[in-house]
Structure 1
């Protein structure tokens, strides 16, 4: 393990061990302070965030983009402060922290017994949404996590999410898709963050007027298992509450090859994601390259 990897692991470990002990107002202030300091440094992540926002808010002035990126970093640090504290939150605190519109799309799909695939973009706090599902609604689910370096950091994230009631599978290794399909055929729930492709086999979509790639897995799982495919978008408002919306199910086209159907379905996901992101751009935590025009030889890097 390199010195940088040891430092990264130690910082995340300190976050989970220390921040969760802070009073909530103190943690919130700490998050805003760190966000503002990071924003003022104008590092690669902040600059990339502004470039991404320029696609979401076309014609925005430099001043508007700067204000958006500052709000975006505050939202991003709110995500981290909440995530560090989530293991110490009570069931009542989790329940009070989330409200979701059109939840009937999910409950009806689960009641039908065919399972459901929930696909989300990097909006607000998807971990909090998952904790709310498992604790408040009593719906366990399976998800996939990108393998991080060092391995100890990946293990921390797995332990954290499993502690919130999630089953976590590694993104790499080839076995995740089959396990997810089995969970769905048993009537289970699968939740996947799906606005950025991490493989070489992503589906090309039109996203805010430009081509990008998104994972085809959610659509392929829904096709193969008969599970409902549900886009979900999240956002923060000025209160401590995170809000969300379950969008109507994405149907499977009647004709076309498996890949062609997946393309149509993934485009429908991208359209739903774009709706939520356009309404709350500051809560979209995309600090990496996404659009094909921005991707160089090192695909997916900042």
Structure 2
């Protein structure tokens, strides 16, 4: 148990982080993009050099993606992953200034016809995403092409930071549901899908004790049951959507629809299909996998938690 002084420091730190995000958001909107890019790259290098538990976890996760990497290669990969992650933040800060044309200037999409065909059918869609590339830019692309996007967001600390992020995403046109502390999300998501809506869910990390155990990057990991369960319940099309950076653009791929299978075993099979796609894409571009939290079963806390 932390001491009273320790709890005060924790509160002060979270409010300081919120202030830093808000200031960064405000400045990045006004500064030229090259200046923002340099600042984010410098910040990424400093954070990586400083180290800490999140950096250690990032390196550990990346070692599963590149198991033959030497210590030096893993160190370089970890630094590149932090640069990719801070590049994501630099782009997020500027997204409110983007128009539909601007979004298309920043992103290349492989197989967009798969999404457009489902939209033409009036069928609901569930995109399962790993923490790769820039998922907010992917969402902005979907919105710019007329896809009514609903998502679920983990509550951030302090509440002020969470509110800022919800306002940002809603400003882009997303409908954002809180993961906790609000009405149950599954009925809202299901109704949206039955009406032909589009749901995007980050799906490579389970934050509960009810996730589905799958093979991810050659190790047992838990993925959330939500994407597969929604597909079973609503008949919506489930597919993986991934992204990675290629020089000055983001490359997004719309993968093939995952066949819907019935029952509990079907849920696991569908989640494994997603995990197979995630594994292949992470191995293709490991530096763009921004996973600084526990994922693998062997790394979970003794009580089964993930934090």
Shift of 1:289: 1.0
Give the C-alpha shift of residue 79 in structure 1: 0.3
**Quick one: distance in 2 between partners of 1:252 and 1:62?**
41
Task: Answer yes or no: is the 8 Å Cα contact 1:115–1:187 preserved in 2.
Answer: yes
Question: C-alpha distance in 2, partners of 1:262/1:47?
Answer: 32
Q: 1 CA distance for matches of 2:126 and 2:120? A: 14
Tell me whether 1:246 sits opposite 2:254 in the alignment.
yes
Is the CA contact 1:106–1:230 (under 8 Å) kept in the aligned structure 2? no
Distance in 1 separating the partners of 2:244 and 2:27 = 26
Task: Name structure 1 gaps, 5 residues minimum.
Answer: none
1:78-89 equivalences under 5 Å are: 78-89=87-98
- TM superposition score normalised by structure 2: 0.93
Q: How many residues align structurally?
A: 296
Partner of residue 275, structure 1: 280
For 2:50 and 2:157, how far apart are their aligned partners in 1? Answer: 25
**For structure 1, which segment, 228-237 or 43-52, has the greater mean C-alpha deviation from structure 2 after superposition?**
43-52
Deviation digits for residues 148-193 of structure 1, max 9, x if unmatched? 1211111111001011111000112451110000000001110111
Moved more, 276-285 or 107-116: 107-116
Segments of structure 2 that go 5 or more residues without pairing to the other structure are: 1-7
Q: How far off is 1:42 after superposition?
A: 2.2
Cα distance in 1 for residues equivalent to 2:193 and 2:95 = 27
State the superposition RMSD in angstroms: 1.3
Normalising by structure 1, report the TM-score.
0.95
Map 1:191-202; keep pairs closer than 5 Å: 191-202=200-211
Matched residues in 1 for 2:35 and 2:100: separation?
21
Given that 1:76 and 1:283 are in contact with CA atoms closer than 8 Å, whether structure 2 keeps it comes out as: yes
CA offset digits 1:58-115 (Å, max 9, x no partner):
1111111011101101000000111111112233221200111011221112222121
